[in-house]
């Protein structure tokens, strides 16, 4: 039987297990990436593993999130990361060089390889046929130490593309359509593989927009084939040697197929506060907008920004709108400068922000109270913009540009602007001046690590006994994101290397009393609904609750990366056998969980006098060992 692209890459990297859907497998990792907000913790963990130099083909450390330097914390962390990179044979992409996913795609990603990144949008690399997955920092540290990555053999959903996109409809509208069809939990345990005649009409930046935002489906990753379009992109990046053809066999099959006719798509948006609240722009046309932000790892390529520049050319942003544009990389910024696009944006009144994550993660450019902000980003969770009362609408760069011109939601096709065609460059500006190459091993050994006062020592969980007891510290609803559990933004992100301090913000947006209560009650349990922990890869959403004494999380279902992070830090994840039992437990209840047989735990709610059936979410022997050891760090160091 023929293989699809996903199966081909997994087969070539299989280190353990059988390629049977849902079965535990391990894959060898060729490349890793980290960013600064997850990287400090990942490298502290890597250091603790006592390995002399990374064992991957290539590892890159990016600085793109914590860019507002309002105090010593962020610049100190940047210096720590730079010294770690020099010490352990890692490429270092300096602040100002751009967003990790955009730069990795431009300068490092290769078709047919595996990439593990400590950021949930690592699947951007799927746009050039790379199996690129997001994971917690600890899993990335283990990959740098030469260990394989453990996951469940994904179900492969084939997305058949036919037709081609109409003017002012773009890749963002394609992924919004997939989100409309599948929802934010529809991709858990799945890879979305794009195929069919419509694929060749999409250039690499468009493909990467689609695979990037596949993260919002909860998917393991998304992937496109590597074809002549991929070759042309890599050639223009001066990297044609990195290209290889990778397409599904003619007889390949998929576990499920969905079909999208690109020609039939219209401009779309995701309404507050979830990426799957998809509507047509025409349905919300006329809604007033106060802010527009164009950028992020989803939509800030040269093509995206030149499209925006052409739409803004000779026009001025509406007097009621503030427009911010953050180019995805220094390459993009230099190329829109050289081609005149930047000048059209500035003349139109755009505020040019630096190349980095910026407003996407609440690092500046917060919207006003109760404001409506239209963003070309991938997440619109409540409060993520740093203004809790704001409404974030996700849209394509074209729809964003239209709203900035008119001051209200506007279908870009109705503006009366001639269709914009941006030619893909024959040659990108391949200047790697802000990328520091790894040192030779003998020189690397002499490097001293720079550790500012913000870098606190690592914390570990204790090994659990035969019984876990405590109270229910909080009971949440469905689709709780890691932004709810461990908020980001300019105030909290600088504390990522300081666990005692960052723990003070756990569940801040949901229940600011949580950290105090967890300490007073001596830790305990968290109860959650469906898709608990969706969103980012931040392991702090497991690590900080662990620090506050959370020992087990019981939900209706979990998101993939967060589930792995909980296990990595020794927190036992369980689901209700009967989802209706969720309604019978309340905050404050006294629970006793007998785990003398970890596969058949017994839960009792002492307050209610109830016995409740729960299923441990441990897929493999390794998962069981991790929980018994109190987490991966204990297991790796034999403590």
Is 60 among the residues that bind ligand SF4 (CB under 6 A)?
no
Interface residue with ligand MIC among 536, 555, 568, 617 (CB under 6 A) is 536
- With 0-12 CB in 10 A as exposed, 13-18 as middle and 19+ as buried, what is 275? buried
As a whole number of angstroms, the distance between CA 30 and CA 115 comes to 6
The answer to whether 120 contacts ligand MIC (rule: CB under 6 A) is yes
- Please identify the residue of the shown chain whose CB is closest to the bound ligand MIC: 536
**Which phi and psi (to 5°) does residue 174 adopt?**
-70, -50
Contacts of 501 (CB under 8 A, 6+ apart): 456, 495
361 binds ligand SF4 (CB under 6 A): yes
How many residues line the site for ligand SF4 (CB under 6 A)?
Answer: 10
Kindly state the tokens that stand for 191: 């890879």
- Active-site hit among 64, 483, 581, 605: 64
Could you say which of 378, 481, 482, 555 contacts ligand SF4 (CB under 6 A)? 378
User: Cα angle at 483 between 402 and 566, to 5 degrees?
Assistant: 140
Q: With CB under 6 A as the contact rule, which of the stretches 118-126, 234-242, 312-320, 602-610 interacts with ligand MIC?
A: 118-126
Q: Between 111 and 358, name the residue whose CB sits nearer to ligand MIC.
A: 358
d(CA 130, CA 47): 28
Cβ-contact 592, 563 below 8 angstroms: no
Q: Answer yes or no: are the C-beta atoms of 124 and 104 closer than 8 Å.
A: yes
Residues 552-571 that bind ligand MIC (CB under 6 A): none
- Among residues 76, 119, 483, 623, which one is catalytic? 119
| Options 183, 296, 555, 620; binder of ligand SF4; rule CB under 6 A | 296
Residue 60-99 contact track with ligand MIC, rule CB under 6 A, x = bound:
-----x----------------------------------
Q: Order of strands, edge to edge, in the sheet holding 590-594?
A: 610-612, 602-605, 590-594, 467-475, 524-527, 550-555, 572-576, 614-616
Q: Which does 538 bind (CB under 5 to 8 A by kind): ligand MIC, ligand SF4, none?
A: ligand MIC
Quick check: 139 binds ligand MIC (CB under 6 A)?
A: no
Out of 277, 538, 560, 562, the residue judged to bind ligand MIC by CB under 6 A: 538
Q: Binding to ligand MIC by residue 361, rule CB under 6 A? A: yes
Segment lying near ligand SF4 (by CB under 6 A), choices 139-147, 167-175, 355-363, 456-464: 355-363
* Tokens encoding 633: 């760090």
Q: Which does 99 bind (CB under 5 to 8 A by kind): ligand MIC, ligand SF4, none?
A: ligand SF4
Q: Is 65 a catalytic residue?
A: yes
Q: How far is the CB of 106 from ligand SF4 (least distance, A)?
A: 15
Collapsing DSSP to helix, strand or coil, 527 comes out as strand
CB atoms under 10 Å from CB of 620, counted, come to: 18
Partners of 592 in beta bridges: 469, 604
Q: Output 297 or 527, the one with its CB closest to ligand SF4.
A: 297
For ligand MIC, give the closer residue by CB, 134 or 630. 134
467 by DSSP, 3-state: which? strand
Short-list 165, 106, 168, CA closest to 335: 106
Residues that bind ligand SF4 (CB under 6 A): 65, 99, 119, 121, 296-297, 357, 360-361, 378
- Where in the sequence numbering do the catalytic residues fall? 64-65, 119, 379, 536, 538
């Amino acid at each position: 039987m023929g293989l699809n692209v996903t199966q081909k890459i997994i087969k070539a990297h299989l280190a353990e297990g059988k390629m049977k859907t849902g079965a535990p497998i391990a894959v060898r990792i060729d490349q890793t990436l980290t960013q600064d907000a997850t990287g400090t913790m990942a490298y502290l963990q890597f250091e603790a593993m006592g390995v002399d130099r990374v064992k991957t083909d290539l590892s890159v450390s990016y600085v793109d999130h914590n860019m507002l330097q309002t105090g010593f914390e962020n610049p100190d962390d940047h210096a720590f990361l730079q010294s770690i990179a020099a010490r352990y044979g890692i490429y270092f992409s300096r602040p100002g060089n751009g967003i990790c996913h955009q730069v990795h795609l431009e300068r490092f990603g290769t078709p047919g390889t595996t990439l593990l990144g400590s950021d949930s949008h690592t699947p951007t690399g799927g746009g050039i046929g790379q199996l690129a997955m997001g994971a917690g920092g600890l899993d990335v540290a283990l990959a740098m130490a030469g260990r394989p990555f453990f996951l469940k053999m994904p179900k492969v959903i084939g997305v058949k593309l036919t037709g081609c996109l109409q003017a002012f409809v773009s890749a963002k509208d394609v992924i919004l359509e997939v989100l409309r069809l599948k929802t934010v939990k529809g991709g858990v345990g799945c890879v979305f593989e794009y195929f069919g005649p419509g694929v060749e009409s999409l250039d690499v930046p468009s493909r990467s927009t689609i695979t990037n935002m596949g993260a919002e489906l909860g998917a393991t990753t998304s992937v496109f084939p590597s074809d002549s379009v991929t070759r042309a992109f890599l050639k223009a990046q001066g990297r044609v040697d990195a290209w290889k053809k990778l397409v599904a066999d003619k007889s390949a099959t998929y576990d499920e197929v969905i079909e999208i006719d690109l020609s039939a798509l219209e401009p779309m948006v995701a309404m507050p506060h979830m990426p799957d609240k998809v509507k047509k722009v025409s349905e919300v046309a006329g809604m007033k907008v106060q802010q527009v932000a164009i950028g992020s790892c989803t939509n800030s390529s040269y093509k995206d920004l030149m499209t925006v520049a052409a739409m803004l050319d000779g026009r001025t942003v509406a007097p009621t709108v503030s427009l911010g544009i953050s180019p995805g990389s220094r390459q993009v910024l230099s190329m829109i400068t050289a081609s005149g696009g930047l000048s059209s944006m500035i003349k139109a009144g755009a505020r040019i922000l630096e190349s980095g994550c910026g407003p996407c993660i609440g690092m500046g450019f917060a919207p006003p109270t109760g404001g409506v902000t239209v963003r070309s980003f991938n997440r619109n969770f409540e409060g993520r913009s740093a203004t809790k009362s704001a409404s974030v609408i996700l849209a394509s760069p074209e729809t964003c540009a239209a709203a900035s011109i008119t001051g209200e939601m506007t279908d870009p096709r109705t503006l009366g602007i001639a269709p914009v065609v941006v030619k893909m460059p024959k040659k990108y500006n391949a200047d790697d001046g802000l990328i520091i190459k790894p040192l030779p091993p003998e020189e690397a050994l002499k490097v001293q690590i720079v550790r500012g006062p913000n870098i606190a020592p690592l914390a570990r969980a204790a090994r659990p006994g035969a019984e876990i007891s405590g109270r229910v510290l909080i009971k949440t609803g469905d689709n709780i994101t890691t932004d709810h559990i461990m908020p980001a933004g300019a105030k909290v992100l600088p504390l990522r290397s300081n666990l005692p301090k960052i723990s003070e913000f756990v569940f801040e947006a949901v229940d600011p009393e949580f950290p105090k209560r967890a300490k007073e009650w001596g830790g305990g349990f968290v109860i959650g609904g469906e898709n608990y922990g969706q969103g980012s890869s931040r392991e702090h959403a497991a690590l900080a609750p662990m620090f506050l004494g959370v020992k087990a999380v019981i939900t209706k279902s979990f998101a993939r990366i967060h589930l792995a992070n909980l296990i990595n830090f020794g927190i036992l994840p369980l689901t209700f056998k009967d989802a209706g039992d969720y309604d019978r437990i309340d905050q404050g209840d006294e629970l006793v969980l007998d785990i003398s047989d970890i596969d058949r735990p017994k839960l009792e709610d002492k307050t209610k006098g109830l016995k409740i059936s729960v299923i441990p979410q441990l897929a493999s022997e390794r998962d069981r060992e991790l929980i018994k050891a109190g987490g991966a760090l204990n297991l790796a160091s034999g403590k």
